[in-house]
Structure 1
Amino acid sequence: MMTPVILITDGDLYARKAVETAANNLHASCLAKSSGNPTLRTAEDLLASLPYCEPHPVFLLFDDAGTSGPGPGETCLEIVVKSEKTEVLGALAVASTSHQNDWCRVDFSITRFQEITAYGVDKEGFAELELQRVRGDTLYNLDQLNIPVICGIGDPGKMGRWDAPERGAPVTTAALKEILHRSGYTS
């Protein structure tokens, strides 16, 4: 049986706490052991854990820790996407300010004010000038994978505290909720 998943291209402690909070808000699961900066777990380890995650969908975190091009997070993410064990609903393309930024196309972005925009966003969650493009360090291969919905977002759990877990991680929650809606997912 395939497990419905949403991919998040950030794995630091702040992102993990924001995604765990959003998962709780949305009655979903966050596979906490997928977090790390950079990603330390293997794709095989993560895939083996999916059957034990309830409720669905499952949110997975991937991080390259600033590596340009294919890093450990992207390598793991690609294996998970191509696995017959997963049904990929979408991805959160997290913006970063690393000096070796890669970029990807997004279907839409969520600003720090929880507004949907056709523009990309920066790390702080402000709309950028480029349409449907986000710059970050763990999104090098998102364009090359068959991901139905990609949402740009600032730095989960941060964005000037607009997405703090203590506040319910409202930006991350709104982004994941919109991916679920656009993917047509029903539990």
Structure 2
Amino acid sequence: MDLDRLAEQGYVIVPKFLAPEQCHELYQYATQLAPQDWQQAGIGRADQYTTNSAVRQDKIRWLQREVPYENAYLRMMDQLRVEINRYLFMGLFDYECHLAHYPPGAFYRKHLDAFKGRSNRILTTVFYLNPEWTEADGGQLVIYGDRGEVLETVLPEAGKLVVFLSDVFVHEVLAGQRDRYSITGWYRLNASIGGIVDPTR
């Protein structure tokens, strides 16, 4: 991963972060999960958590270390966290992530993943699992600049990783024509209070 580019512009797009075989295994795993393994995605945290289908329409599954396929991805992202800290001194403490499934027509309107001073989420990562995805399939991730200009329109192709500063870049997911799968995660700072990691505010 080009960490110089991440440092310079606040985001980086890595076209082939994982080998095709690994992507395919994760894709197969995601598509074979049962309906009860997913939950409707929401907005906000703790007391402010709510679902709003006018804003986002994806379903999610939080990754757990007890599940082999999920643990393998989490361990790989732990290694990336160490590399980022070593190179950029960002003080990233841990990582949380979920699978996301966007059925045909589903979207996620413009939003920020963190607000300055109100979250310990520092870096957002989005990894795509979708084989043979084309422009006609839609479902692009759009990243905006601070004046509302489009910086990037990212096709959610298998193997592609996007990393960006969580409290800087407004972004959205456009509606797609096919089932769309990704793994979205956040590197976080340590917000421990009284020995409790990341206590609910």
Q: What's the TM-score, normalizing by structure 2?
A: 0.27
Work out which of the two has the higher radius of gyration on C-alpha atoms and give 1 or 2: 2
More helix by share: 1
